[in-house]
Amino acid sequence: MKCRKCGAKASVNMHQHKLALCKEHYLEWVPEQTERFIKKYQMFKRGDRILVAVSGGKDSLSLWDILVRLGYQVDGLYIGLGIDEGIGYSSESHRLAEKFANENNLNLHIVDIEKEYSQPIPVLAEISHRGHGKPCAVCGLTKRHVMNRIARDLGYDVLATGHNLDDEAAVLFGNTLSWSGEYLLRQGPVLPSTDGLARKVKPLCRFYEREMTAYALLRGIEYIYEECPFAEGSTSIYYKELLNKLETDRPGSKLTFYLRFLEARQSGLFVEHNVAADGDLPTYLHPCPNCGQPTSAPGLCSFCRLMEKVKAESNAL
Ligand code: Q46
Ligand code: ZN
Ligand code: ZN
């Protein structure tokens, strides 16, 4: 296979795009495409202050790298979950996120859950009795809360995450299987800002996971290869495997599945009933009286209720 641009030996062959590129041209192509998606979906503008959530994995570190190369003002946020079972997942991902920031002279905010909320994620999950023995529900809730809080408190315009096409297609597949209307409505490359919440964007949502792996490897980014030990056996991994089988037989089907969904959504297939004016909260949400973040729960938001429970349990000891 030869590079379409220069004829040299290709390093990456993307069947679904019928495109093969050498290392040099691949490392140009990925940022160019990202810029195209940023503009197409109107994710953010030059001059906006962007906060990228970095986990130490290939997607988030590559996203940070790409946005910096494209000349955007972007800082990182690392959330220490305190998951050190097995391989020492949190310590290693923390080390790699810091290493990347230091080597590139970038600003990284670090929030350590145990320091801030008295317990690491696995213990918070135990106390809450949520999620049937897996900490993922509490972990997701906590990460969302912290990302929103830091973006708001430090005045960022946009919060960017490294979700790739494989992630988005798997979530879409799950939401479609259960026809979760509200989730389908909110899934997309951009979630506009609402009262108390920054705009959320996913600039890598049209890249296959293997394209991001190739980018990180060719750019020489050191990232954590292992998944979080609690990811094993998760539904999202199961959906990813199913979609990979489909993709092997029919290259491009994952991308088509996602893009056709975005088109259908754009054309109004999913209609929101409680439509809000730009920037306002939909009527079914109200600000949590404690932290100010939007919630549909009566009274305190789920995160603040979790924290009340943790406090009560610690006092009881
Ligand atoms: S939710 Fe679950 Fe992930 Fe949190 S506990 Fe690990 S697998 S990190 S994306
Ligand atoms: Zn080339
Ligand atoms: Zn709250």
How many whole angstroms from 27 Cα to the centroid of ligand 2?
A: 10
Q: Predicted confidence band at 271 (pLDDT cuts at 50, 70, 90)? A: low
Pocket flag, ligand 1, residue 201 (CB < 6 Å)? no
Question: What average pLDDT score do residues 118-138 get?
Answer: 89
Angle formed by the axes of helices 235-249 and 165-177, to 10°?
Answer: 110
Q: Is 170 in the pocket of ligand 1 (CB under 6 A)?
A: no
Tens of pLDDT along 59-118? 999 999 999 999 999 999 999 999 997 779 999 999 999 999 999 999 999 999 999 999
Which has the closest alpha carbon to 257: 190, 166, 178? 166
Report the C-alpha gap between 283 and 273 in whole angstroms: 9
Looking at residue 211, its amino acid is: E
- Please state the atom number of ligand 1 nearest to the C-alpha of residue 121: 5
In this predicted model, what pLDDT tens digit does every residue of 185-239 receive, in sequence order?
Answer: 889 999 998 877 889 999 999 999 999 999 999 999 999 999 999 999 899 999 9
For every residue of 125-154, DSSP letters joined together read: HHHHT-STT-THHHHHHHHHHHHHHHHHHT
Distance between CA atoms of 312 and 306, rounded to whole angstroms?
10
Ligand nearest to the CA of 57: 1
Average pLDDT of the chain to the nearest whole number:
92
Class for the domain spanning 45-281: alpha beta
Q: Which atom of ligand 1 is nearest to the CA of 143?
A: 4
Taking the mean position of all CA atoms in its chain, how far away is CA 128?
24
What lies within 8 Å, CB to CB, of 293 at 6+ separation is 145, 148, 149, 196, 197, 287, 301, 303
Backbone angles phi, psi at 65, to 5 degrees: -55, -45
C-alpha of residue 74 to centroid of ligand 2, in Å? 29
Beta carbon of 8 within 6 Å of any ligand 1 atom: no
Contact of 208 with 16, CB cutoff 8 Å: yes
Any idea where the domains of the chain sit in the sequence?
45-281
Instruction: State in Å: Cα 256 to ligand 2 middle.
Output: 27
Q: What's this model's pTM, rounded to 2 decimal places?
A: 0.94
